Structure 1
Amino acid sequence: MTALLLFAKPLWNTPKNNFSPPDGKKKGNIMSKSAQLGRRDSIIVSLSSYIAATVLCFVSYMRMPEHWEMMPKFMVAAAIATFFIFIMSYLLKNSSMYDPFWSVQPMVFGAGLVAAYGIENVTTHQWITVIGMQLYGLRLTSNFYRDWPGLSHEDWRYKDLAEKSGKAYWLVSLSGIHFFPTVQVFMGCLPAFYLFAAENTGGDSYLILSILGWVVLYGSVLLAFVADEQMRNFRRNPENKGKTMDQGLWSRNRHPNYLGECSTWIGLWILILAYNPSYWWTGCGAIAILVMFYGVSIPWMDRRSLERRPGFDEYMKRTGRLFPKLF
């Protein structure tokens, strides 16, 4: 259960706290490396790290034994990239270095699939799916960097975990904050992998289900974008400081951005069902992500909001946890 608690961060930016040791005191220069970096330098460090991780991912894939199947190669390459980002997190004493990885990983997987099979061999169905994955990743990654204060701040959840785990924090960070989300996203991308590797046996329902999958995939990206923009505009108004966002998409749903996130993975699942129904089991990733958000991330967020925002309890009564409360 500890691992589930580790990746429970919002898809829109929340105030983040500096990491401090469990006793609440900074020891030595534990934060000196990242605390001295401003927003501009932090973005340069972060982007450079992810470019290096992406190159490392592709190079490691190419150097793996030829007799290996595609899936293990992608898995090992993702693990190597994750460990590289963890090293950066450790050197900078800030686990928020990993935060963009969730959205960068699908983009790298999509590009990797096209490269592995050859551009000339990619079908229309596959192209539309890969483009959807790129849009998802670009939107979520840009959303992170737009309001990110830099490496002088760290997600408040990591501070909570540091206080609970004490000296074992970096082991917890490696296993939970870094590797657990990587596995989650890998599982969520399983439908995309088999969309390239499997044979098309969709039959008469192929086109109908494909259109449905694309509508869900692209519609979910749009839903999350609108929800994040509404929240961003609300927060930029000084008069709303300390208030609860209850306008637009947020009037009936406490976390419409999370709904868009979870629906994105469901859209990918529908697409493999259209292409080859025998791979229905690849929906395990989408289900795991849905369970994580519904059962862990949202309750954790709501508990914090109850402590910090007056009237949030009333807001909870008239809104749905993940799905809109219509009546």
Structure 2
Amino acid sequence: MAADHRSSRPVGFAVVAAVYVAAGLAAWAVAAAMPGAHPLAVTLVADLAATVVVFAASVVVRNASLYDPYWSVAPSVIVMAWLWWRAGGEIAAVTERQLTVLVLVLAWAVRLTVNWASSWRGLGHEDWRYVQLREQRPSWLPFWVVNLVGIQAMPTLVVFAGLLSAWPAVTVLDRPLGWLDVVAALVVVLAAGTEAVADRQLRSFARDPANRGRIFEQGLWRFSRHPNYLGEIAFWWGLWLFGLAAAPGWWWTVLGPVAMVLLFVFVSVPLMDRRSVQRRPAYADHMRRVPALLPLRLRRGV
């Protein structure tokens, strides 16, 4: 692909759209080939098939970031598919809990996808973490393996685990809305709001040339080094509360939000912190004063 096309945002977005349509068709074909199987099994296999399509396209265009919007696009599609299956295609049969979960997941997905789109510059722009993995991997390990397993398949499985709690929330209909649903909705709204505000604050700070090389310690970022990650984690806990409200027996789906916590605490946060220390040595002191996620300790030296 020509260099000018790789730097073109319209071309990049057109490629992403075509790839995701192909991924959706692959998922649909897989689902159609599994009649009689449990919807959760069908969804998982279809989800992985779509991921393979996105992976193959990312190899062709030499950009692993092709997968990035999958994190926010796939959950809303999966929840809609589950709801459609449970409602038997009858929109009028959708319950209050189902509608609440669907609207909140869609709002979260649209916001997160738009946030990705606003910062992606085209096929020539690959997430720095993927570039780092490409450059620092052992010489014997092909990057396509890192790309398939670490960058794409692993997040797909973690997100699917997080979505397991949405299954009872949209398919178990014998429990009416209650106080736990209210708590769940508040958690999800606050979580998505925290993410949105944190992303907007950081984007505004980064766009000002006067802030180049400086450490952002304003707004939500004054109390947490990664408030956007905190909001993302809280979103999945809120989704779990919806599942618990609908079917307490599905409490074990807590494995989903726990997996999210582990992903961010042991992968995303350390990666971001190490990069920040390398680019801004004063960030090490910032790490001592500001907690990584939960704003539980008092700031010193302010």
Indicate if the aligned counterparts of 2:158 and 2:259 stay in contact, CA closer than 8 A: yes
Indicate if the aligned counterparts of 1:33 and 1:93 stay in contact, CA closer than 8 A: no
Corresponding position of 1:49: 19
Q: Hey, what's the Cα distance between the residues in 1 that align with 2:110 and 2:29?
A: 22
Q: Report the RMSD for the aligned CA atoms in angstroms.
A: 1.7
- Per the normalisation by structure 2, the TM-score is 0.91
What is the Cα deviation at residue 120 of structure 1? 2.6
Q: Hey, what's the Cα distance between the residues in 2 that align with 1:245 and 1:44?
A: 34
Determine which of 291, 302, 306 is the counterpart of 2:277: 306
Task: Give the count of matched residue pairs.
Answer: 292
Name the aligned partner's letter for residue 132 of structure 1.
L
What is the Cα deviation at residue 217 of structure 1? 0.9
Matched, 1:210 2:181: yes
Structure with bigger RCO (C-alpha 8 Å, 6+ apart): 1
Indicate if the aligned counterparts of 2:162 and 2:257 stay in contact, CA closer than 8 A: yes
Structure 2 residue runs of 5 or longer lacking an equivalent are none
Corresponding position of 1:173: 147
What is the Cα deviation at residue 314 of structure 1? 2.1
What is the Cα deviation at residue 246 of structure 1? 0.7
Matched, 1:141 2:110: no
What is the Cα deviation at residue 52 of structure 1? 2.7
Indicate if the aligned counterparts of 1:139 and 1:225 stay in contact, CA closer than 8 A: yes
Q: Hey, what's the Cα distance between the residues in 1 that align with 2:205 and 2:172?
A: 45
What is the Cα deviation at residue 321 of structure 1? 0.7
Indicate if the aligned counterparts of 1:266 and 1:286 stay in contact, CA closer than 8 A: yes
Determine which of 104, 120, 125 is the counterpart of 1:153: 125
Matched, 1:254 2:228: no
Cα gap change, 1:34 to 1:289, in 2 (>3 Å): farther
Q: Hey, what's the Cα distance between the residues in 2 that align with 1:132 and 1:75?
A: 22
Indicate if the aligned counterparts of 2:51 and 2:152 stay in contact, CA closer than 8 A: yes
What is the Cα deviation at residue 169 of structure 1? 1.2
- Per the normalisation by structure 1, the TM-score is 0.85
Indicate if the aligned counterparts of 2:196 and 2:228 stay in contact, CA closer than 8 A: yes
What is the Cα deviation at residue 165 of structure 1? 3.7
Q: Hey, what's the Cα distance between the residues in 1 that align with 2:170 and 2:3?
A: 41
Determine which of 84, 87, 101 is the counterpart of 2:70: 101
Corresponding position of 1:227: 198
Q: Hey, what's the Cα distance between the residues in 1 that align with 2:280 and 2:45?
A: 43
Corresponding position of 1:3: none
Q: Secondary structure at the match of 1:246?
A: coil
Q: Secondary structure at the match of 1:281?
A: helix
Name the aligned partner's letter for residue 112 of structure 2.
L
Determine which of 98, 102, 105 is the counterpart of 1:130: 102
Q: Hey, what's the Cα distance between the residues in 2 that align with 1:65 and 1:173?
A: 28
Q: Hey, what's the Cα distance between the residues in 2 that align with 1:199 and 1:193?
A: 11
Indicate if the aligned counterparts of 2:83 and 2:171 stay in contact, CA closer than 8 A: no
Indicate if the aligned counterparts of 1:85 and 1:98 stay in contact, CA closer than 8 A: yes
Corresponding position of 1:10: none
Name the aligned partner's letter for residue 179 of structure 1.
A
Corresponding position of 2:45: 76
Q: Higher mean Cα deviation, 242-251 or 108-117?
A: 108-117
Q: Hey, what's the Cα distance between the residues in 1 that align with 2:290 and 2:281?
A: 16
What is the Cα deviation at residue 249 of structure 1? 0.3
Q: Hey, what's the Cα distance between the residues in 1 that align with 2:175 and 2:106?
A: 26
Q: Hey, what's the Cα distance between the residues in 2 that align with 1:325 and 1:195?
A: 31
- For residues 281-306 of structure 1, the C-alpha deviation after alignment (integer angstroms, 9 at most, x for no partner) is 01101100111101221012111101
Indicate if the aligned counterparts of 1:34 and 1:94 stay in contact, CA closer than 8 A: no
Corresponding position of 2:167: 193
What is the Cα deviation at residue 180 of structure 1? 0.6
Cα gap change, 1:87 to 1:243, in 2 (>3 Å): same
Determine which of 259, 264, 272 is the counterpart of 1:293: 264
- For residues 87-123 of structure 1, the C-alpha deviation after alignment (integer angstroms, 9 at most, x for no partner) is 1001111111111111111111122123222323221
- For residues 127-159 of structure 1, the C-alpha deviation after alignment (integer angstroms, 9 at most, x for no partner) is 101111111111111100112111102112222
Structure 1 residue runs of 5 or longer lacking an equivalent are 1-31
- For residues 200-239 of structure 1, the C-alpha deviation after alignment (integer angstroms, 9 at most, x for no partner) is 357xxx6111100011012111110000000000011010
Indicate if the aligned counterparts of 2:97 and 2:170 stay in contact, CA closer than 8 A: no
